[in-house]
Amino acid sequence: MEHDPQVLEFYDQPPPFKICYRSQSGRKIAHYHTPDFFVLRSESAGWEEWKPEKQLKQLAEKYPSRYQRTEAGQWRCPPGEVHAESLGLTYSVRTDAELHPVFIQNLSFLEDYLGCTPTVTSSVQRQARQRVQAEPGMTLSALLACEPEVRAEDIYALIAQEQLYVDLSAVPLAQPWRVQLYLDQQAQEADVLARGAATTPGFWDFPASAQLMPNTSLLWDGRLWTLINLGEETTTVLPETGQPMQLPTEFFLRLLRVSPRPRALASPVRAHGIRCHGGGARTPVCREPPRTVMAVASSRHGCVSNPGSGR
């Protein structure tokens, strides 16, 4: 709840109160009940009881007048509501089904950073924030590639301290090439709207979650490429004809962001005029990409120093 912008304050294990209801056999039951939390929200205040969905189903069979499921699939506790309404408050039953699995995974990932205040130097914090402000939505991998002094641990700490914003329900933080960074939630929402407004039929017209999945096909600059694997360090793509090639993942993602938008197809990936060929087990040698693409990359990102090097 500490990550819910609507929550002002919350208190665990608040004072108990008495509730009355009937068992399945009709016997009257009365006892004191301690909800899990008392929550002050921006538009309401009241008690919240959290239970696993599976347990609630069992309790509803045993105590049908205490736990009930509505037609909309939400759970409620009538005796708790009676007490709350007498005081002008609310009583809610919440379940683990409401929690996004990726969100929970990311909170667990950030646990060490949330429980303490890791030291991030002011210079590193300034570098990271300035870079993200200049390019809202840049990936964590991109930031680390462009700012050598910034470590992944620094970014995780800044996210935990809310100095940088990440949609924790979007993708796992353990996949830095997919994690998009913003200064705050407002910047993220504005970027999403801007990207949506800029989208035209035939260009980038497929869900972001599917953009860079293996076997995705993109038509780019009239050529067909298939994405074989998007790794943390290296990306492998297969041209319509010829051998597979490898590119530094950050360079590949950077070209996708600065070059003309690719159009989704039913199967392969296309990259804008990149002609890199791998020879057997040898390290792939990349020819120089089109200078127009590299010029845009250099001016927008400031970290493409040598077109022929793939950085």
Q: What is the pLDDT of residue 24?
A: 85
Q: Compare 5 and 13 and report the one with higher pLDDT.
A: 13
Mind listing the pLDDT tens digit for each residue in 138-170?
Answer: 889 888 888 889 999 999 999 998 899 999 988
Q: What is the pLDDT of residue 281?
A: 34
pLDDT at 283 over 50: no
* Residue 216 within a domain: yes
**Mean pLDDT, residues 36-65 taken together:** 94
Q: What is the pLDDT of residue 100?
A: 83
Q: What is the pLDDT of residue 176?
A: 87
pLDDT at 111 over 60: yes
Strand partners, 92: 48
Most confident of 19-28, 243-252, 260-269, 300-309: 19-28
Same domain as 143, residue 85: no
Same domain as 286, residue 219: yes
85: pLDDT confidence band, cut at 50, 70 and 90? very high
Q: What is the pLDDT of residue 13?
A: 93
Same domain as 106, residue 90: no
Beta strand pairing call for 90-95 and 45-51? parallel
Q: What is the pLDDT of residue 119?
A: 82
Q: Compare 35 and 5 and report the one with higher pLDDT.
A: 35
Question: Do residues 125 and 117 touch, judged by C-beta distance below 8 A?
Answer: no
Question: Do residues 66 and 79 touch, judged by C-beta distance below 8 A?
Answer: yes
Mind listing the pLDDT tens digit for each residue in 196-239?
Answer: 654 433 333 333 433 466 677 665 556 677 777 777 778 888 87
* Residue 133 within a domain: yes
Q: Compare 240 and 64 and report the one with higher pLDDT.
A: 64
Strand partners, 239: 225
Q: How far is residue 118 CA from its own chain's centroid?
A: 22
Q: What is the pLDDT of residue 309?
A: 38
pLDDT at 250 over 90: no
pLDDT at 81 over 70: yes
pLDDT at 310 over 60: no
Average pLDDT, rounded, for the chain: 76
Q: What is the pLDDT of residue 178?
A: 85
The helix-helix angle for 152-160 and 122-134 (nearest 10°) equals 80
Out of 63, 98, 133, a domain closes at 98
Out of 198, 223, 257, a domain closes at 198
pTM: 0.52
Show the domain range for 246: 208-309
Same domain as 302, residue 214: yes
Q: Give the three-state DSSP class for 290.
A: coil
Q: What is the pLDDT of residue 221?
A: 58
* Residue 298 within a domain: yes
Give the span between the Cα atoms of 187 and 26, in whole angstroms. 55
246: pLDDT confidence band, cut at 50, 70 and 90? confident
Same domain as 149, residue 106: yes
pLDDT at 17 over 90: yes
Q: What is the pLDDT of residue 254?
A: 66
Same domain as 213, residue 305: yes
Same domain as 126, residue 110: yes
* Residue 1 within a domain: no
* Residue 62 within a domain: yes
Of 50-59, 181-190, 217-226, 239-248, the one with minimum mean pLDDT is 217-226
Beta strand pairing call for 75-76 and 90-95? unpaired
Q: Give the three-state DSSP class for 235.
A: strand
pLDDT at 287 over 60: no
Most confident of 176-190, 232-246, 248-262: 176-190
293: pLDDT confidence band, cut at 50, 70 and 90? very low
Same domain as 111, residue 61: no
**Mean pLDDT, residues 23-45 taken together:** 93
* Residue 140 within a domain: yes
Question: Do residues 30 and 19 touch, judged by C-beta distance below 8 A?
Answer: yes
Q: What is the pLDDT of residue 83?
A: 96
Cβ count near 231 (within 10 Å): 13
Q: In total, how many domains does the chain have? A: 3
Question: Do residues 302 and 146 touch, judged by C-beta distance below 8 A?
Answer: yes
* Residue 168 within a domain: yes
* Residue 292 within a domain: yes
Out of 170, 198, 226, a domain closes at 198
